[in-house]
């Protein structure tokens, strides 16, 4: 850790410590993300990103394999109550074919994502994970809340990362947004289970949810730090017309980028995606995030016929493109801002060090 820390110049480290220790200033910046002082934070985070994770952008091929969901999250288009959504499920061989396509396109990691769909059993998914591992890919899971024994089974099958955002760290807001008894406490407990299983754990939150305040956003950062997350995804909330929050106002690019930047300062070695949601509200939103501390992009690898039906939020980009088109589009965008696409698996370096330490002892 000491060796890693020395990568950030002492003066910058001090500047960051002072900023992060000044709660009032942070709250003001979060409340006014357009003021020049807030724009300076984006530049600072961009610098820190260079010193910690470097100029390479990590790509993750996203396979959205089921749009069925048992949940009722007020913000999400996949919620069970959205009867207008066409639902689909990929069979195991189709998931593996999509992953093989990922290998051909040069991806080193695939993210298996779905709504919470219990029709996929723990063992069935473990088999899919083993087959995808055999293709030489790193497997990231994003399947929501499942049983701890399933998380353990999948880890043993070779999955190394798990994404499950805490969504909002305000317990009452969390309960309102997630009816039918879901609690922040349970979500955090499961994230800790994943940590205990040695996954690289990704949490994160949306920006611009109704009821959110600068205080709750600051608490979102604090929770990500408390969890010592290896990955933190931050995206703007985009109201979906077929949900109870359809009539509300969503998040902005400025506020989302500021939160991305603060994530980089709080967890300097984290993997931080420039989210598709940001690319949806602004054609250059992902580039803006990559220049505010982000270092990951998750292009779509879902077979094209299904894409439009994975409608978490409206007007999602990339629903008309083939996987290969997204791959080359992303390449162009990354090189256009002077960055390069990483060749390696893109693990969190702190996690890698821990793994090596564990093997020695």
Count the Cβ atoms, other than its own, within 10 Å of residue 261: 30
Q: Quickly list DSSP for 236-297.
A: E----TTSTTTTS----HHHHHHHHHHHHHHSTT-B-B--HHHHHHSTTHHHHHHTTT--EE
Q: Does 81 bind ligand FES (CB under 6 A)?
A: no
Rounded to an integer, what is the distance from CA 185 to the centroid of its chain?
Answer: 20
Residue from 88, 154, 199, 313 in contact with ligand 5AD (CB under 6 A) = 313
**Minimal distance in Å, beta carbon 83 to ligand FES?**
28
**Minimal distance in Å, beta carbon 233 to ligand 5AD?**
7
- Rounded Cα distance between 30 and 224, Å, is 16
Q: Does 165 bind ligand 5AD (CB under 6 A)?
A: yes
Of 241 and 344, the one with the shorter C-beta distance to ligand 5AD is 241
Residues 6+ apart with CB under 8 A from 204: 163, 165, 166, 167, 224, 229, 231, 232, 233, 234, 235
- Rounded Cα distance between 164 and 172, Å, is 19
Taking each helix axis from N to C end, the angle separating 253-266 and 10-21, rounded to the nearest 10 degrees, works out to: 120
Residue 38, contacted partner among ligand FES, ligand 5AD, none, CB below 5-8 A by kind: none
SS3 content of the chain, % helix, strand, coil (to 5): 45, 15, 40
Q: For the window 328-347, what string marks contact with ligand FES as x by the rule CB under 6 A? A: -xx-----------------
Of 134 and 328, the one with the shorter C-beta distance to ligand FES is 328
Residue 56, contacted partner among ligand FES, ligand 5AD, none, CB below 5-8 A by kind: none
Q: Does 321 bind ligand FES (CB under 6 A)?
A: yes
Q: For the window 254-293, what string marks contact with ligand FES as x by the rule CB under 6 A? A: ----------------------------------------
Q: Does 178 bind ligand 5AD (CB under 6 A)?
A: no
Query: Which residues of the shown chain bind ligand FES in the complex (CB under 6 A)?
Result: 299-300, 318, 321, 325-326, 329-330
Query: Which residues of the shown chain bind ligand 5AD in the complex (CB under 6 A)?
Result: 75-76, 165, 167, 206, 235, 237-238, 240, 277, 312-313
């Amino acid at each position: 850790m000491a060796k890693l820390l020395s990568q950030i110049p002492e003066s910058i480290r001090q500047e960051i410590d002072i900023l992060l220790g000044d709660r009032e200033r942070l709250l003001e910046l979060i409340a006014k993300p357009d003021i020049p002082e807030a724009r300076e934070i984006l530049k600072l985070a961009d610098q820190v990103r260079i010193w910690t994770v470097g100029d390479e952008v990590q790509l993750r091929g996203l396979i959205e394999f089921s749009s069925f969901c048992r949940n009722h999250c007020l913000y999400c288009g996949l919620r069970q109550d959205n009867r207008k959504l066409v639902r689909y499920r990929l069979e195991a061989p189709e998931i593996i074919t999509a992953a093989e396509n990922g290998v051909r396109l040069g991806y080193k990691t695939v993210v298996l994502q779905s709504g919470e769909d219990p029709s996929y059993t723990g063992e069935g998914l473990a088999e899919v994970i083993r087959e995808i591992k055999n293709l030489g890919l790193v497997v990231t899971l994003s399947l929501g809340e499942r049983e701890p024994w399933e998380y353990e089974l999948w880890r043993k099958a070779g999955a190394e990362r798990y994404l499950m955002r805490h969504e909002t760290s305000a317990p009452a807001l969390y309960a309102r947004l997630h009816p039918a008894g879901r609690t922040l406490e349970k979500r955090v407990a499961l994230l800790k289970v994943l940590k205990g299983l040695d996954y690289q754990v990704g949490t994160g939150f949306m920006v611009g949810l109704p009821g959110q305040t600068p205080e709750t956003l600051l608490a979102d950062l604090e929770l990500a730090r408390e969890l010592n997350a290896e990955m933190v995804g931050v995206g703007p909330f985009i109201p979906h017309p077929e949900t109870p929050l359809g009539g509300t106002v969503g998040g902005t690019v400025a506020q989302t980028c500021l939160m991305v930047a603060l994530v980089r300062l709080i967890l300097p070695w984290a993997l931080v995606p420039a989210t598709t949601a940001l690319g949806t509200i602004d054609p250059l939103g992902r580039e803006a995030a990559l220049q505010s501390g982000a270092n990951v992009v998750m292009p779509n690898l879902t077979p094209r016929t299904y894409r439009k039906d994975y409608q978490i939020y409206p007007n999602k980009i990339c629903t008309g493109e083939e996987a290969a088109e997204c791959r080359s589009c992303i390449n162009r965008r990354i090189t256009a801002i002077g960055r390069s696409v990483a060749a390696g698996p893109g693990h969190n370096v702190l996690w890698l060090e821990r793994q090596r330490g564990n093997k020695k002892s």
